Amino acid sequence: MSPSTGPRVLVVDDEPAIRRAVSTNLARHEFRVEEAETGQQALDLYASFRPDVIILDLSLPDFDGLQVIERIRVRSSTPIIILSVRGGERDKVSALDLGADDYLTKPFSINELLARIRVALRHLARPDSPGVFRTGDLEVDLEHRRVRLADKEVDLSPTEYDLLKVFVTHPDRVLTHAMLVHDVWGPEYGTESHYLHVYVARLRKKLEPDSQRPRYIITEPGVGYRLIADDSLKPDTT
Amino acid sequence: MMKSMVLRKTAAGYVLAALSTTCLTALLAPFRDEVGLLIQGLLFLLLTLLVASVWGRNAGLFTAVITNISLNFFFIHPLYTLDVADPENIAALVIFLVVSIVGGTLLSSSRQSAAEARRRQAETEVALRLSRALSGQTEPERALEALCEEVVRSFDAPGAAVLTLIDGAWQLRAHAGGAQAGRAPDTEERTALERAASRGSLEGFGVTGLTRTRRRRIVVPRGREAAFRLERSVAFLPLKLGNRVLGVLRVDGPIGNSPFRSEPEGLLAAIASEAALAVQRAELAQAAAHAEALREADELKSALLNAVSHDLRTPLASIIASAGSLQQTDVIWTDEERRVFAESIEHEAQRLDRLVGNLLDLSRIESGSLRPEKGWYDLGALVGEVVGRLKPITAQHAVTVDISEDLPPIFLDYIEVDEVLTNLVENATKYTPAGSAIEVRARPLEKEAMVEVIDSGPGIPAEALERIFDPFFRVKGSRARGTGLGLAVARGLVKAHAGRMWAENRPEGGARFAFALPLPVPQEKPPAGTTIRA
């Protein structure tokens, strides 16, 4: 009953009830869906079905979901959204560091999952070439290294700009501390995330209307940061 | 009054000295004229020296005086008076007195110092033996026992024990000696014990035998025992390390023939310091064991929490996702889709309910508060009913049932045994491929009724066989979803029926789970008129 034209989503979960709920919803939202129960099935379907997005559970009967991420990342950058009952920081960080794009903890809301799938697909459609990134009042011109907030030029230090650039090129994605440190300061800094927190605080001071309650660069507790471009992902401000 | 009834122990020496003097006098008196004064005097001197060497200096002095008087009275003219006619005899008497006093004193003091030397040597030996015995003990409680044994041996005492204060009460940690050595302290003893601990001093008392007139026992405070013939005594020695009293050593009396009989304090002090160290080691070991136990309990708790949170969240996630789907505003679901979501919610809620039920059972099993409500039932009928009820679950498998005709009625809790078999059958369907055979058998053994669930699946990995009944244990790499509670609960329920449960791999492939419940012994047969329920 899946339409033959929509984006392809692979749902990997060992729980039939979860698979059924997710795929029924996806089918109704014009996605083409395939289900996999085990890691091996997931890898086989990945090759034959060529999904645009993968929804992956970490606890699989044959091997760990983390291994699935590793094997897929060797071949491609297909967005992977982790959907797992494991909600610990360490689980999130290791999945994201291995290349997962997003992480949702069970129990989850179907609406939120659908929103995250849309975000993943939108980034897939967006070309990687530098251009102008806009969200809310924030405008980042990657070609001319210019940042404007509500049409006013913002003065950033080189490191602040480099950090913002990493966020802007990965909008709506959870970026772990390790990824950000690696991309901005280089591999020799390892897991030293002290500078990172300082620079995120500076960026927020310059960009956020209220740096105590950021709307652009939000904290993923214990994991990292995320630049919000899609309004449906905005955290509750209540 | 007490003194009239109880013999004075110290008087014994004097009485015997007086008696032997009288005897010697009576023996010599008839020959007073044949035996010269010299021989007579020397014989009395010999007696004096003997008494001094056996009963000590004071008895010796006493003998010196009475033999002198006896010599004067019975042997020196004029007879039967204390007058002395011959001045030479006066000198002889004086010299005799001086020689016997000096001789007696020397003898008794050399005897004392010899005894002292013997005791010191024995003390050293005991201390050495003790420290050797204690240093060889790796187990602290064993060390305390070795210490008590050494005390019993060194003092030839009826018993010895080490007591420590645990949660405000004095408790026996180790003991050695006769049957009485392991007793709990009585009121009298507790008073002395607490005094020893609070003052840090040696405390104790003695108890006499039944008095002749009043038929009762007299408790004699420590320090005054010498005056009484005691039936038993007890001494409490505080075990101190610095100013801290770690425990109390109880030494039961009367102590027998040992070098420490007269002055036990020296050896007791040596023992006390060794014992204090042993108690401290025991305390430290206990604290370490306690910390280890806490750590293990903590680990178990977090493993349990992890497993439970995973197993509770999984069905919850399905329920929330299905319910959330039904509430989507931008989608209009078909009746079929709606039914699937509702069914999913119901199934997962039931799964959650089973999990919670299993968890509750497990906690009841582990806390020992399981109380089977037993009645007489036909086990074969129970097996048939469970297999019938589970048909929806076992639809994918070829299930056969083989129930022996001669199964007697069994006294059991129907619901619990039903749950045991349900868990086993569910387990078999979960862990074996669809289409494979499952056989459920029930038959009597010699003293038990056995129910088996035999599958032809992949079997149980050897390393998991032992642990398969542990709560939350799941076979690694297994494709089935389970909580690891079913088998643990099943085994717990069978145990609550005084039965046993085991699992094994069949040589021809597949696993065999079995449980056996005790058959009623003849006098336990259901009373006539009892209805056997199916």
pLDDT digits (tens, 9 = 90+) for B38-56: 888 888 888 888 888 888 7
Looking at the DSSP bridge assignments, the partners of residue A105 are A84
Residue B424's alpha-carbon distances to B352, B407, B495, in angstroms, are 19, 20, 15
Which residue of chain B comes nearest to A108, CA vs CA?
B317
Alpha-carbon radius of gyration of chain A = 18
Higher pLDDT, B436 or B85: B436
**Cβ-nearest to B313 among A24, A61, A85:** A85
- Distance (Å, whole) CA A140 – CA A168: 8
Distance CA A33, CA A18 (A): 13
| pLDDT tens, position by position, A138-196 | 888 887 888 988 888 889 888 899 899 889 888 888 888 888 888 888 777 766 788 88
pLDDT band at A2 (very low <50, low <70, confident <90, very high): very low
* pLDDT at residue A228 in the model: 87
- Torsion over CA: B132, B135, B139, B143 (sign): positive
As a whole number, mean pLDDT of residues B403-413 equals 89
Residue type at position B466: E
Q: How many pairs of residues across A and B have Cβ atoms under 8 Å apart?
A: 72
Give B478's pLDDT tier (boundaries 50, 70, 90).
low
Q: What is the DSSP letter of A76?
A: -
The alpha-carbon gap from B430 to the nearest alpha carbon of chain A, in Å, equals: 13
Residue B162 reports pLDDT greater than 70: yes
Burial B254-279 (b: 16+ CB within 10 A, else e): bbeebbbeeebeebbebbbebbbbbb
* CB-CB neighbors (< 8 A) of B321 in chain A: 17-18, 21-22, 107-108, 110
At residue A212 the predicted structure's pLDDT band, cuts being 50, 70 and 90, is: confident
Q: Is the pLDDT of residue B479 over 60?
A: no
Which site among A1, A13, A14, A18 would you substitute to test the B interface, given the most B Cβ atoms closer than 10 Å to its Cβ? A18
Residue A238 reports pLDDT greater than 50: no
| pLDDT tens-place string over residues B195-252 | 888 888 888 888 887 777 777 777 777 777 666 777 888 888 888 888 888 888 898 8
Nearest to A183 by CA among A207, A199, A172: A199
DSSP class of residue B530? Answer: P
At B326 the pLDDT is 92
B9 pLDDT higher than 60: no
The DSSP secondary structure of B487-526, one letter per residue, reads HHHHHHHHHHTT-EEEEEE-TTSSEEEEEEEEPPPGGGSP
pLDDT for the residue numbered B481: 61
The nearest alpha carbon in chain B to A25 belongs to B325
∠ CA(A221), CA(A227), CA(A232), 5° rounding?
Answer: 95
How distant is the alpha carbon of residue B4 from its chain centre? 44
According to DSSP, residue B72 is labeled: I
pLDDT for the residue A24: 93
Cα atoms in the 13 Å half-sphere on the side-chain side of B231: 9
Question: What is the pLDDT averaged over residues B117-145?
Answer: 79
A85 chain-B contacts, CB cut-off 8 A: 309-310, 313-314, 317
Report the pLDDT value the prediction gives residue B527, as an integer from 0 to 100. Answer: 65
pLDDT at B379 over 50: yes
| A72-81, A229-238, B68-77, B459-468: range with lowest mean pLDDT | A229-238
Best interface-test mutation with B: which of A28, A57, A116 has the largest number of B CBs within 10 A?
A: A28
What pLDDT is recorded for position A173? 84
Query: Scanning every residue of chain A, which has its alpha carbon at the shortest distance from the alpha carbon of B328?
Result: A111
Query: A24 and B325 in contact by Cβ < 8 A?
Result: yes
DSSP B532: P
Calculated CA dihedral for residues B503, B505, B510, B511, nearest 10 degrees: 0
Q: Measure Cα distances from A109 to A18, A104, A231, B337 in Å.
A: 12, 9, 17, 18
Whether residue A233 has pLDDT greater than 70: no
Q: What phi, psi does A140 have (nearest 5°)?
A: -120, 120
Per-residue pLDDT band at B480 (split at 50, 70, 90): low
How distant is the alpha carbon of residue B17 from its chain centre? Answer: 51
Closest approach of A3 to chain B, Cα-based (Å): 16
pLDDT(B10) > 70? no
B439 has pLDDT over 90? yes
Chain segment A82-137, per-residue pLDDT in tens:
999 888 888 889 999 898 999 999 899 999 999 999 988 887 766 555 678 888 88
Rounded to the nearest integer, the mean pLDDT of chain B is: 83
Lowest mean pLDDT among A233-237, B50-54, B57-61, B298-302: A233-237
Longest Cα pair distance anywhere in chain B, in angstroms?
Answer: 150
Interval B11-33 mean pLDDT = 85
* Banded pLDDT at B524 (limits 50, 70, 90): low
Contacts of B331 in chain A (CB under 8 A): 25, 28-29
Residue B257 pLDDT? 65
Reported as a single tens digit per residue, the pLDDT across A22-51 is 999 999 888 999 999 999 999 999 988 889
Which three-class secondary structure state does DSSP give residue A12?
strand
Spell out which chain B residues touch chain A, with contact meaning CB-CB distance below 8 angstroms: 309-310, 313-322, 324-325, 328, 331, 333, 337, 340-341, 344, 347-348, 477-481
Interface of A with B (CB under 8 A): 14-15, 17-18, 20-22, 24-25, 28-29, 38, 59, 61-62, 85-86, 106-111
User: For A99-158, where are the E strands, in sequence order?
Assistant: 102-105, 132-135, 138-141, 146-149, 152-153
Residues of B in contact with A17 (CB under 8 A): 315, 318, 321-322, 344, 347-348
For residue B347, list chain A residues with Cβ-Cβ distance below 8 A.
17
The answer on pLDDT for B144 being more than 50 is yes
Residues of chain B contacting A62 with CB distance shorter than 8 Å: 477, 479
Average predicted confidence (pLDDT) for chain A: 85
Nearest residue of A to residue B324 by CA position?
A110
pLDDT score of B361 more than 50: yes
Model confidence, pTM: 0.53
- Spell out where B134-282 has E strands: 159-166, 169-177, 203-208, 219-221, 230-241, 244-253
The residue whose two tokens read 């459920």 is B440
CA distance B331 to chain A (A): 7
Of B321, B337, B479, the CB nearest to A108: B321
pLDDT band at A237 (very low <50, low <70, confident <90, very high): very low
* 8 A C-beta contact, residue A185 and residue A179: no
Which residues, listed in sequence order, are joined to residue B398 by a DSSP beta bridge?
B437
Compare all CA atoms of chain A with the CA of B331 and give the residue at the minimum distance. Answer: A28
Q: Which of B310, B321, B477 sits opposite A18 (nearest CB)?
A: B321
B55-60: Cβ within 8 A, 24+ apart: B55/B12, B55/B13, B55/B14, B55/B16, B55/B17, B56/B13, B56/B108, B56/B111, B56/B112, B57/B104, B57/B105, B57/B108, B57/B109, B58/B13, B59/B13, B59/B14, B59/B17, B60/B100, B60/B101, B60/B104, B60/B105, B60/B107, B60/B108
Q: What is the pLDDT of residue B318?
A: 93
Q: What is the pLDDT of residue B400?
A: 93
